[in-house]
Chains A and B, each alone.
Chain A
Amino acid sequence: MTTTVARPSTIEADPGGTPLRRAGNWARRAPLLPALIFMIIVTQLPFVGTLVISFMNWNAYYPDERGFAGIDNFVRVLTDVNTRDSIITTIVLTASVVLISLLLGMLIALLLDRTFLGRGVVRTLMITPFLVVPVAAALVWKHALYNPEYGLLNGLLTGIFGGGAIQPDWISTMPLTSVVIALVWQWTPFMMLILLAGLQGKPLDVIEAAQIDGCSNWQIFRHMTFPHLRQYLELGGLLGSIYIVQNFDAVFTITSGGLGTANLPYTIYQTFYNAQDYGRASAAGVVVVIGTILIATFALRTVSSLFKEEAR
C-alpha cells in the first residue's frame, strides 16, 4: 500500500506536488470512489433523465406523438389545480406531522427522563409503533381502527355510549387528519428516541444546583433543558421532514390519494403509473426537486452548524 506516502498535513500545504505525492492523494481517494461513483450513477443520472423527459411530449398511451414539448409540461404542471393542491397538501402534511410528533415526542421524552417503576417497559412500548412496517401500520389504521362499521374507534364508542353512539366515518369526514394521526403515531417514537437521548446528555450538576437554588421546574426547563435540547429538536425535525415529505405508504393505503390527500409523491406516481404521461410526471418531478433543493439548502445549513458543534 502506498498510503504511507501521504501522512501528515504538511503535505497538503504544498501545491501541485510530485507524481509520488499525487499517487498518495489518489490512494487516499481510492476507498471513497466506489461509493461515490455508485451514488452518482444510481441517484444523479436518473435526475438528468427526468430533466430531459420533462421537456418532451411523451405519453406511453400515444407512442407516435413523442417529441420535443418545450416548457409545455411545466406550464401544465404549474397551472394544474391538482398539482397546486398536492403541493399544499405535501406542505400541510409534512409540517403538521413533524411539528405534532416533535411536540408529543418531547413531552413523552420528558416523562421518560425520570425514574419510575417500569420505565424500560414503557420505553419499549413507546418504540413499538415505529417498528411496525409502515404499509402494515397504514392497513391496520384504515381497516382495524378507522373503519366506520367494525373499526376499534367506533367499536369503543358503541361500547362506552351504547347502541345510539355516534359512528363517524373517520376517513371520509376528515381524510387528511386521519393520515396525519396515523403518521404522528408512527413518528412520535422516532422523535422521542432522539430527544430522550438528548435529555440524557444534559448537564445534571448544573440542573441540580438550580434546583437547590430554588428554581422552579418550568424555569429549569425554559432556560436549561430546552436550550440543550434545541439541537436535538433540529435534528429530529430535519430527519423527520426528509422522510415524511416523501411519504407514499400512508397516503396510498389509507385514502388512495382521494379526498384531497394526494401529496406530491402520490400525484407523480399517479401521473406516471396510471396516466402514463411521462412528460408531465417528469416535469412535476423537476418541480419537486427544485422545491426540495430550496428547503434542503436551508436544512443542510442546520445540519452543518450541528456538525461544527460536534467537531468542536
Chain B
Amino acid sequence: MTATAEASRTAAADTASRTRRKRSGAVLGVVAWIVGILFVLPVVWMLLTSFHSENDAATNPPSFFAPLTLDGYANFFGAATGASPWPPLLNSITASVLSTALVLLLAVPAAYALSIKPVKKWTDVLFFFLSTKMLPVVAGLLPVYLIAQGIGMLDNIWLLIVLYTSMNLPIAVWMMRSFLAEVPGEILEAASMDGCNLTRTLRTIVMPIVLPGIAATSLICFIFSWNELLFARVLTATVAQTAPVFLTSFVTSQGLFLAKVCAAAVVVSLPVLIAGFAAQDKLVQGLSLGAIK
C-alpha cells in the first residue's frame, strides 16, 4: 500500500476509529499467525517424529525434546528390512516427468487450436475436456485393468504414464488455453504479414506469454501424477510400484513404525513441497485452471 493512500485514509477517519482499527488489526494479525501455526502443526509433528527414535516417537505424553536421530530415515532406506525405496521413487519420478512431458506435447497444440486460431465450436471442445475430469476414474478402472491384463501391460510404468496423461490433459488444455488467449492475435497477423518467420514470431511474441503458463501447467501435472494412488495401487505390483503405493505398504507393519512412516512421508512429500513452495503463484494459477492469473 502506498504512503499517500494510507495518508488520505487516515486523514478522513477520525482518531478514535483509527486507533481502534489499528488495535483490531494487530489482534487479527495474531489470529492469522495462530491459525497458520495450527495448520502447519501436523507437518511439524511429522518432521519432528521422523527424527526421533521409534521408542521416543511412541510415548504418551509426547517427548518433544527427545534426542534427534536419523534412524527413521535409515530404516526407510532399507537398513532394517533390506527393501529399498529407490525403485518406487524412481518409478514415481519416471511416471510424473514423462506424463507431464506427454501432456504438454498434446495440450499446447490443442490449446492453440482453441484460442489463437480457434476451430468452430471451440467452447464445446473445451467443455468436453473438462467433463472427462468429472467422470470418476474408478468407473473406468475395471476395463482399463482387463485391457492391460489382455495386452500384458499390468505392472508396467508406461500404463501409468498413459493414464496420468489422460488424467491431467484436460487441466492442461484449460490452463494453456487461458494463457494462449492472452497472445495478441493482431500482432501475430502483423508479424506474419511483415514477413516475420514462424520461429521468430514464436520466440519474440508467443514464448514470453506462454512460458509462465507452461511452468504452471507442469507444476500442477507433476503434483497430481506424483500423488496418485488408486491407479497405481490397482495396476502395479512389484516392478512398477510407485512411491504412494510403497507408503501404504507400511500400514500393515507390526510393532513400532511411527518414525519410519513419518520419515517416509517426509521423503515422498519433499519434491512436491519444494516445487510448491518455489512456485506459490504458479500453484494458484494451476489450481484455478488458469482462471486466476
Considering the chains assembled together, what is the distance between the CA atoms of A33 and B125 in angstroms?
11
Could you tell me if A189 and B39 are in contact, using CB atoms closer than 8 angstroms?
yes
B140 contacts A by Cβ under 8 Å: yes
With known contacts A129-B42, A143-B261, A149–B125 Cβ distance under 8 A: no
Query: What's the least CB distance linking A271 to chain B, in Å?
Result: 9
Whether A140 and B229, one on each chain, are in contact in the complex, defined by CB atoms closer than 8 angstroms, is: no
A 220-279 contacts with B by CB, 8 A: 232, 235, 239, 242, 245-246, 248-249, 252-253, 264-265, 268-269, 272-273, 278
Q: Which candidate, A61-69, A76-84, A168-176, A296-304, is the interface stretch facing chain B?
A: A296-304
- Complex CA–CA separation, A30 to B113 (angstroms): 8
Please name the residue on chain A nearest to B63 by beta carbon. Answer: A155
Name the A residues within 8 Å of B12 (CB-CB): 211-212
Residue B234, interface by CB 8 Å:
yes
| A239-B174 Cα distance, complex, nearest whole Å | 13
CB-based contact B136/A292 at 8 Å: yes
Q: How far is the CB of A170 from chain B (nearest CB, A)?
A: 14
Query: For the complex, what is the distance from the CA of A96 to the CA of B106, rounded to whole Å?
Result: 36
Decide if B139 touches A154 in the complex (CB within 8 Å).
no
List 27 A-B pairs, Cβ < 8 Å. Answer: A28-B113, A30-B113, A31-B110, A34-B109, A38-B169, A42-B165, A123-B36, A124-B277, A127-B280, A133-B226, A134-B229, A134-B244, A137-B42, A140-B262, A194-B287, A194-B292, A196-B284, A197-B284, A197-B292, A208-B9, A239-B287, A253-B248, A265-B138, A269-B141, A272-B142, A282-B142, A300-B134
Closest Cβ of chain B: how far from A182's Cβ, in Å? 9
Contact present for A36 and B125 (CB under 8 Å): yes
- In angstroms, Cα B164 to Cα A38, docked, is 12
Residue of A130, A140, A304 contacting most chain B CB atoms (<10 Å): A140
For residue B217, which residues in chain A have a CB less than 8 angstroms away from its CB? none
Would you call B163 and A144 a contact (CB within 8 A)? no
Q: Which listed residue (A35, A133, A140) contacts B244, Cβ 8 A?
A: A133
Say whether chain B's binding surface is mostly helix, strand, loop, or mixed. helix
Question: Are B251 and A245 in touch, CB under 8 angstroms?
Answer: no
Bound complex: CA of A49 vs CA of B140, how far in Å?
A: 8
Q: How many residues of A contact B (CB 8 A)?
A: 114
Most central of A25, A39, A189 by chain B CB within 10 Å: A39
Q: What's the Cα separation between A288 and B143 when bound, in Å?
A: 15
Determine the distance from Cα of A7 to Cα of B162 in the docked complex, in whole angstroms.
35
Q: How far is the CA of A304 from the CA of B279 in the complex (A)?
A: 28
- Checking B58, B133, B273, B288 against A194 with a beta-carbon cut-off of 8 angstroms, the contacting residue is B288
- The interface residues of chain A lying within 8 Å CB-to-CB of B136 are 245-246, 264-265, 285, 288-289, 292
Chain A residues near B25: list those with CB within 8 A: 114, 116
- The chain A residue sitting closest to B267, CB to CB, is A136
With known contacts A116-B29, A197-B288, A140–B265 Cβ distance under 8 A: yes
5 closest A-B pairs (Cβ-Cβ)? A49-B143, A116-B29, A31-B109, A285-B139, A46-B140
* CB-CB nearest in chain A for B234: A273
Q: Verify B110–A149 contact, CB threshold 8 A.
A: no
Which of B77-85, B114-122, B199-207, B208-216 faces chain A?
A: B114-122
Q: Tell whether A74 is near chain B: CB-to-CB under 8 Å.
A: no
**Given the contacts A34-B106, A156-B61, A288 and B9 also touching, CB distance less than 8 Å:** no
Q: How far is the CA of A299 from the CA of B248 in the complex (A)?
A: 33
CB contacts (< 8 Å) of B248 on chain A: these are 135, 139, 252-253
Q: Given contact pairs A144-B258, A193-B284, A211-B12, enumerate 4 new A-B contacts (beta carbons under 8 Å).
A: A35-B106, A35-B129, A122-B32, A246-B138
Does any Cβ of B come within 8 Å of A50's Cβ?
Answer: yes
Q: Is the CB of A135 within 8 A of B32?
A: no
Choice from A50, A126, A239 contacting B140 with Cβ under 8 Å:
A50
Interface residues in A292-312 (C-beta closer than 8 Å to B): 292-293, 295-296, 299-300, 303-304, 306-307, 310
- Does B61 contact A190, Cβ atoms closer than 8 Å? no
> Taking A46-B144, A108-B32 as contacts, is the C-beta distance between A39 and B109 under 8 angstroms?
no
Residues of B within 8 A of A127 (CB): 276-277, 280, 283
Minimum CB–CB distance for A31 against chain B, Å: 3
Residues from chain A with a CB closer than 8 A to the CB of B257 are: 143
User: Within 8 Å of chain A (Cβ to Cβ): is B75?
Assistant: no
Nearest-Cβ distance from residue B19 to partner chain A, whole angstroms: 16
Contact between A12 and B120 (Cβ–Cβ < 8 Å)?
A: yes
Asked whether any CB of chain A lies closer than 8 Å to the CB of B166, the reply is yes
Contact of B269 among A114, A131, A299 (CB under 8 A): A131
A285 to B118, CA, bound (A): 35
Annotate B132-164 by CB proximity to A: 1 below 8 A, 0 otherwise.
111111111111111100000000000000110
Write out the residue numbers on chain A whose beta carbons fall within 8 Å of the beta carbon of B88. Answer: none
A134-B227, A292-B135 known; A32+B113 contact, CB < 8 A: yes
- Would A272 and B113 count as touching, CB distance under 8 A? no
Answer yes or no: A145 CB below 8 A from chain B CBs: yes
Of A35, A48, A144, the contact of B110 (CB 8 Å cutoff): A35
Contact of A46 among B37, B143, B165, B173 (CB under 8 A): B143
Residues A39 and B284 in contact in the complex (CB < 8 Å), given A140-B262, A211-B13: no
Q: Which among B31, B223, B262, B287 has the greatest number of chain A C-beta atoms within 10 A? A: B287
Residue contact A140 to B287, C-beta cutoff 8 Å: no
In the bound complex, residues from chain A placing their C-beta under 8 Å from that of B86 are none
Give, as a whole number of angstroms, the nearest-CB distance from A61 to chain B. Answer: 15
Give residues 20-76 of A contacting B (CB, 8 Å): 25, 28-32, 34-36, 38-39, 42-50, 53
